């Protein structure tokens, strides 16, 4: 069965025409789906039209299977997909708005050592409509509408590698920012990649003003290969070259993620090497403390050490901040909650 949310507004108009329906039906359906409704819940179209749609399309693209709320207010969701797979999402309340962190794949094939998402490998890509439906549901649950959204910001930092699911991710960005739908500003969306160089070049040409974030985590290539297998394919110099191209094409600065792992990448030597690599570049470094995942055995750096690491970077002339660790008590790290859920079901 297909996912109706995969269709753009124009594609939905064409579908209505092919079904012999009036064009304004497309607008009604598009609005309803963007509001987080399932097909059966749309009240202003006929049952006959719903039945026609349900012959080919899933009634419910994603269903909220579980919702956990952290002591810090962060909400973590497990979504059930129509084929029985599970993905997760996180909703964080901030003073400037609310951010949804979403998954782009079920599992991941990048195999980063510290990350729970990759432990079982890649199961499948999410479609653009499935990604969109997770936003629509979370927005609705938090009292948002398409005119007055609860979800104001989006980060593609859940499970999966967005650039390993490139076409669906690009279509999702177009769908979620469509003024016919949720109309989330692309400038409020961040996409994080572990560093797939060809896709960084391709993305630079898309004309989408999304914030590009790259997971760096180690300034020495040889060590980075141990932490992130993708480093065997692309060196840091190749990544930096692609980032320079991105800046040249878009005029947008880029961000590096740096998750501190005790004794691995939190040394003075690492800070100095980072400064050497990044000084003078139009970039910012987001330092986070590792969210410990039991399978990896890796330990987190303390908060105090994280601040002194950032202090070293700043002294070296970099723009850097320590990012808050959200929802650690509810398995906030990518892929943790899905893994625990699957283990419990066994």
* 102 touching ligand SAH, by CB under 6 A: no
Write down the least CB distance from residue 192 to ligand SAH, Å. 4
Residue 334 sits in the site that holds ligand SAH (CB under 6 A): yes
- Estimate the crossing angle of helix 9-18 against helix 24-34, to 10 degrees: 130
Q: Which of 101, 115, 243, 334 is catalytic?
A: 334
Q: Compute the residue count for the chain.
A: 346
One-character DSSP codes across 237-276 = HHHHHHHHHHHHHH---EEEEEEEBTTTT-SHHHHHHHHH
Nearest residue (CB) to ligand SAH, 21 versus 257: 257
Q: Of residues 58, 88, 130, 264, which has the active-site annotation?
A: 88
Nearest alpha carbon to residue 105 among 91, 86, 92: 86
Distances (CA, A) of 234 to 69, 107, 312: 38, 22, 27
Residue 200 CB, shortest distance to ligand SAH, in Å, is 12
- Binds ligand SAH by CB under 6 A, chosen from 98, 169, 211, 215: 215
Task: Give yes or no for residue 313 binding ligand SAH (CB under 6 A).
Answer: no
Sorted by sequence, the CB contacts under 8 Å of residue 267 that are 6+ apart come out as none
Residue spans of alpha helices (H) in 177-319: 197-204, 221-227, 236-250, 268-278, 303-315
Tell me how far CA of residue 164 lies from CA of 83, 169, 203, in angstroms. 21, 9, 12
Should residue 115 be labelled a site residue for ligand SAH when binding is judged by CB under 6 A? yes
When asked if residue 290 is in the footprint of ligand SAH (CB under 6 A), the reply is yes
What is the distance between the alpha carbons of residues 156 and 159, in angstroms, rounded to a whole number? 8
Per the annotation, the verdict on 334 as an active-site residue is yes
The answer to whether 331 contacts ligand SAH (rule: CB under 6 A) is: no
Question: Pattern of binders to ligand SAH over 164-183, x per CB under 6 A?
Answer: --------------------
Minimum Å gap between C-beta 259 and ligand SAH is 4
The rounded radius of gyration (Å) of the Cα atoms in the chain is 21
Is 234 an interacting residue with respect to ligand SAH (CB under 6 A)? no
Nearer residue to ligand SAH within complex by CB, 127 or 193: 193
**Residue 243 binds ligand SAH, judged by CB under 6 A:** no
> Based on CB atoms, which residue is closest to ligand SAH, 271 or 288?
288
Any bridge partners for residue 69, and if so which? 75
Residues taking part in catalysis: 88, 334
Site residues for ligand SAH per CB under 6 A: 110, 112, 114-115, 157, 161, 192-194, 215, 257, 259, 288, 290-291, 293, 333-334
């Amino acid at each position: 069965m297909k996912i109706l949310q995969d269709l753009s507004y124009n594609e939905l108009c064409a579908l209505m025409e092919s079904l012999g329906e009036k064009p304004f039906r497309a607008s009604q359906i598009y609005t309803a789906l963007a509001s987080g409704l399932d097909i059966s819940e749309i009240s202003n179209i006929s049952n006959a039209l719903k039945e026609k749609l349900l012959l080919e399309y899933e009634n419910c693209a994603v269903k909220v299977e579980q919702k956990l709320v952290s002591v810090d207010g962060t909400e973590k969701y497990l979504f059930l997909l129509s084929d029985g797979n599970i993905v997760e999402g996180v909703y964080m309340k901030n003073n400037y708005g609310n951010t949804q962190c979403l998954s782009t794949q079920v599992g991941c094939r990048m195999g980063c050592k510290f990350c729970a998402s990759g432990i079982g490998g890649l199961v499948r890509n999410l479609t653009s409509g499935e990604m969109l439906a997770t936003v629509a549901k979370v927005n609705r649950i938090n009292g948002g509408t398409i005119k007055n959204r609860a979800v104001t910001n989006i980060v593609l930092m859940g499970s999966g590698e967005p650039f390993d699911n490139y076409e669906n991710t690009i279509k999702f960005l177009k769908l979620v920012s469509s003024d016919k739908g949720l109309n989330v500003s692309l400038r409020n969306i961040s996409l994080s990649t572990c560093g797939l160089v060809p896709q960084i070049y391709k993305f630079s040409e898309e004309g989408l003003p999304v914030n590009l974030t790259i997971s760096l985590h180690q300034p020495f290539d040889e060590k980075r290969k141990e932490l992130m297998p993708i480093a065997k394919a692309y060196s840091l110099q190749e990544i930096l070259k692609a980032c320079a191209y991105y800046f040249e094409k878009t005029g947008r600065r880029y961000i590096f993620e740096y998750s501190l792992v005790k004794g691995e990448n939190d040394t003075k030597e690492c800070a100095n090497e980072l400064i050497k690599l990044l000084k003078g570049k139009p970039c910012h470094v987001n330092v986070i403390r590792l969210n410990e995942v039991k399978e990896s055995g890796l330990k987190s750096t303390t908060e105090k050490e994280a601040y002194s690491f950032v202090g070293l970077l700043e002294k070296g002339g970099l723009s850097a901040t320590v990012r808050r660790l959200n929802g650690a008590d509810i398995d906030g790290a990518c892929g943790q909650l899905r893994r625990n859920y699957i283990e419990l079901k066994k």
